[in-house]
Structure 1
Amino acid sequence: MAERPLDLDAVQAFLRIAELGSFTRAAEAMRTTQAAVSLKLKRLEDRLGCRLVERTPRHVQLSARGAAFVDQARELLEAHDRALAAVAGARQRLTIGISDHVAGPELPALVARMNAQDPQLLIEIRIASSGDLLPAFDRRELDTVIVRQHLGRCDGEVITEEKFGWFAAPGWQHRAGEPLPLATLAEPCGVRMMAGQLLDRAGVPWMEIFVGGGVAAVVAAVMAGLGVAALAPRMLPFGAVDVGSRLGLPDLPRLPVLLHTRVRDGRGRDALAALSAAYRGAVRG
């Protein structure tokens, strides 16, 4: 009697655990529960006759057999996707806009994870400000946007919330009696507007010293010692200093990251679920 074939859903659950390092985030990526992911993994381990994942209260790591199985598991799912694509014909395209304040240095790894979710999905990504991306989404130029909350617009699904701080280069000093030099993104930028409003309410004199066309440019200005910027810590290189408390600057709120999408089912939705779970992991990390 032939042996039972592997359950592809269980193989996919194993790969999500391996890639995301968490049962919780794997469940988020697969749009299911942690208990369901655990059950799928147990069935796969029972079928293979070995333990693939070592679980501890704080950590999830692959066993030696699990690490050896990762590449074969990925090849199995890729072969499955190629077979489906050959029957279905044209590749599905997913156009995503991501706010420059959200994209961050993790973007290449996050895109790789989304591609691993569905290698046959054609992914197109545009990086811009939230103020530019939301109108493009409303005009149906983009299938999905991942943005900061913008100008009081509250629709969309909250993926996560991220803390912000007032960052400067190591050793940077504010000259007494001078307005706070601020590096910002060009308008329209919700973070820029928020920072200016908070400083005004706190009675802190400030002036724009640098206006960048992207977060990378603002970070470069900060690390060059031009001034201070309101940024998420993950956007900055190691060594940047939060000077908010030292300078008596107002606290910055945690800002939500919102997903707006018209993709409700199918392969595109699965890829977006994987991307959302990866973002949650990047912000929490």
Structure 2
Amino acid sequence: MKTLDFEAVQAFVLVADLRSFTRAADALNSTQSAISIKLKRLEERLGHRLIERTPRMVRLSPKGEIFLQAARNLLGAHDDALSALARERITLKVGISHHIVGNELPLLLRHMHRADPGLLVEMRVSSSRDIEAQFDSGALDAALVLRHDDSRRDGETLLDEPFGWIATPDWVHHAGQPLRLATQAYPCRVRAMAVSALDEARVPWVEVFVGGGIGTIGAATQAGLAVAALALRVAPPGTVDVGPRLGLPPLPSREVVLYSSTSDAQVRAALRTLVSAFRSTPANAPDRHISRSEEASQLP
């Protein structure tokens, strides 16, 4: 009977989900060459090619697509076995700005659980301002937020997050009328960024919807009520960036910053997995779906 190398199966699933040998290696605290060797041996053991890799793309082969669910089931059974015998549960309290967490949240949670099935995750999603305050007070072990200014330069910069003017594809702005906006309530810093850009470009605007979270803002755009300044990764399905079509001023990007105060090796490993998964879901377009291909230029 054939037996499979569990670590090789784990590497295969990470490469499939993160669309990157480099990011999979980072999540496993390994190297790209070691991941490649594991996958080659797994393919030899199964007798099928699982990953198709070119200088510009990493994607699953047809056999890899078939094997992926079975591989997930195997890892899930392994996680259940570990959880059954876990004696001590370590808690990671992490906060994420609602401006940067969208449809990829299930992927982030899946990989954090897989990295450490016994880890208890307490996740809070709120504004960057609130998350920073909770982190500074010691209520959070880690925080993923947007950096809006130079008032603090600590933390690890993960990436630049692009923003756009999000609305339905058929949304119409009538000439001579103020731009209809859906915003967060004052003092939201993304709101301030958006209205400042409009004021500098002398574009008249009016708020027609004030939401209590990114979900409500996204719903207002999907309903065709208004345009909203949103990070591309949280733009809801069925919406597009109408800024270029309407001649609206471009919005600046914002750095995504990780603050962490934990020294526990187990918690830091879970954070490393979270960061790798987060980086693997670039905000290329508002109405995007997670795919299993990756441009080489996105590799670190």
Which bracket does the TM-score occupy, shorter chain normalised? 0.7 to 0.9
User: Does residue 122 of structure 2 align to residue 129 of structure 1?
Assistant: no
Instruction: Please show how residues 162-177 of structure 1 align to structure 2 within 5 Å.
Output: 162-177=161-176
SS of the aligned residue for 1:108 comes to helix
SS of the aligned residue for 2:250 comes to coil
Partner of 2:206: 207
61-70 or 189-198, which deviates more: 61-70
TM-score normalised by structure 1 residue count: 0.84
For 1:195, give the aligned amino acid.
A
Contact kept? 2:181, 2:228, Cα under 8 Å: yes
Deviations 1:239-270, CA, capped at 9 Å, x for gaps: 32322123322111222222111234522222
Contact kept? 1:51, 1:66, Cα under 8 Å: no
For 1:115, give the aligned amino acid.
H
Deviation at residue 105 of structure 1 after TM alignment: 1.9
Distance 1:33 1:194 in 2: 40
Partner of 1:140: 138
65-74 or 260-269, which deviates more: 65-74
Gaps of 5+ in 1: none
Distance 1:270 1:45, change over 3 A: farther
Distance 1:18 1:268 in 2: 24
Contact kept? 1:20, 1:278, Cα under 8 Å: yes
Contact kept? 1:223, 1:240, Cα under 8 Å: yes
Distance 2:15 2:242 in 1: 38
Q: Which has the higher helix share?
A: 1
Instruction: Please show how residues 106-255 of structure 1 align to structure 2 within 5 Å.
Output: 106-152=104-150, 153-255=152-254
Contact kept? 2:233, 2:283, Cα under 8 Å: no
SS of the aligned residue for 1:103 comes to coil
SS of the aligned residue for 2:282 comes to helix
Q: What's the Cα RMSD here? A: 2.8
Gaps of 5+ in 2: 285-300
Deviations 1:3-50, CA, capped at 9 Å, x for gaps: xx976654543342243232122123224432232234445567x475
Deviations 1:163-185, CA, capped at 9 Å, x for gaps: 21112223322233232222111
Deviation at residue 224 of structure 1 after TM alignment: 2.2
Contact kept? 2:148, 2:254, Cα under 8 Å: no
Work out the number of aligned pairs and report it: 278
TM-score normalised by structure 2 residue count: 0.80
